[in-house]
Structure 1
Amino acid sequence: MAYEHIEDIEDDATGPESPRQEKEINPLQAASATAMALGAAAGPGSVMAGAMVGVMAGGLASQSGRTGASTDQEAAEEVARLADEESYWRGHYADEPYVQADMSFDYYLAAYRTGMLARMHYPDRAFEDIDDTLAREYAKQRQDSTLPWESEGRAAARAAWDHMTRH
């Protein structure tokens, strides 16, 4: 069956006589969806990156008490800034002192994202003050990365944090 409007799907699922329940929009889910949509526009490999950014932002925002960007424009600006930062690190990661010569950018990516997102969600805090929170968040979000937090992970996150502070 083809549907012309989202309401048609809801009517089919609940019946036309059932009252619709208003659903509250979660800003973190909205930011994640925005990140995924922008990733989709950039190309197939970027959708997963957008999803990862949304998940990490949600975790950090819940830790900081922030609920994410308050408008679609702010969410889009945050995603664009993260994309710019990731692009910067993709081109410059090899120059960092903690980087192992035989490791790719992707090995460090989760740590960079942890640092970038933390800087956005904790603008008034010192990195050292939230180190334990960042270590926990990195452990939850790093997926298949084997990069240890205690050595290179913390250093990569700190480098991303410092770069966003300066730019």
Structure 2
Amino acid sequence: MKANNDVEAPEEAIYAPESHPVAGGIGALGGAAAGAALGAGLGPLGAVTGAVIGVACGAIAGKAIAAGIDPEAEDVYWQKQYRHEPYYESEYAYDDYGPAYRLGWQLYSPHQSFEAAEKVMSDEWAQGRGSSKLEWNQARHAAKAGWSRIGSLQVGD
């Protein structure tokens, strides 16, 4: 199927939401509770906003866990590794690179290349990079590293 810009659209979602519905649901519930609790300090609107954000983050984490990805282990790995990567720039901290690594491993799909997923990833980065100071052209290297690491870990599965 061709999109308007004549670039072939992916046949499957970057991260198929139907792949792990139970884990996603469990993660969403936990994320909602945690987000609401954190946002409650900002009043009712903060609690609602925190719950909404928590649902999204919890669902992604729940699916990643069900897919055999340990989000905590990945985060620990990249916290130790990021300074040794060829694209690392010393003016940026892990708080800048971390969201890009997470984006890469959360959206990993064995059914397509990083390059095929990059448009979706860059859009996701623009919307959800949080406080990271990296622009997509800088963050893409970390996202690709996160993507590639998960791909190499799943080769034997």
Q: TM-score range by the shorter chain?
A: 0.5 to 0.7
The sequence identity of aligned pairs, in percent, is: 26
Which stretches of structure 1, 4 residues or more, deviate above 6 A after TM superposition? none
Give 1:54 deviation, angstroms.
Answer: 1.6
Count of aligned residue pairs for this structure pair: 118
The residue aligned with 1:57 is 60
Root-mean-square deviation (CA), in Å? Answer: 3.7
User: In 1, Cα distance between the equivalents of 2:59 and 2:136?
Assistant: 16
Q: Where in structure 2 are the equivalents of 1:1-167 lying within 5 Å? A: 28-34=24-30, 51=54, 54=57, 57=60, 69=63, 76-78=65-67, 81-119=70-108, 122-150=109-137, 152-167=138-153
TM-score (norm 1): 0.57
User: In 1, Cα distance between the equivalents of 2:68 and 2:57?
Assistant: 9
Alignment deviations for residues 101-142 of structure 1 (CA, whole Å, 9 cap, x no partner): 2321111111111101011xx231111111100000111111
User: In 2, Cα distance between the equivalents of 1:56 and 1:153?
Assistant: 23
Any conservation in 1 of the 2:25–2:59 contact (CA below 8 Å)? no
Give 1:51 deviation, angstroms.
Answer: 3.8
The residue aligned with 2:39 is none
Equivalent position amino acid for 1:104 in 2 = A
Equivalent position amino acid for 2:133 in 1 = T
User: In 1, Cα distance between the equivalents of 2:54 and 2:98?
Assistant: 14
TM-score (norm 2): 0.60
Alignment deviations for residues 41-92 of structure 1 (CA, whole Å, 9 cap, x no partner): xxxxxxxxx949726839xxxxxxxxx74xxxxx644586121111100110
Unpaired runs of 5+ residues, structure 2, are: 1-20, 35-52
Unpaired runs of 5+ residues, structure 1, are: 1-24, 39-49, 59-67, 70-74
User: In 2, Cα distance between the equivalents of 1:54 and 1:34?
Assistant: 10
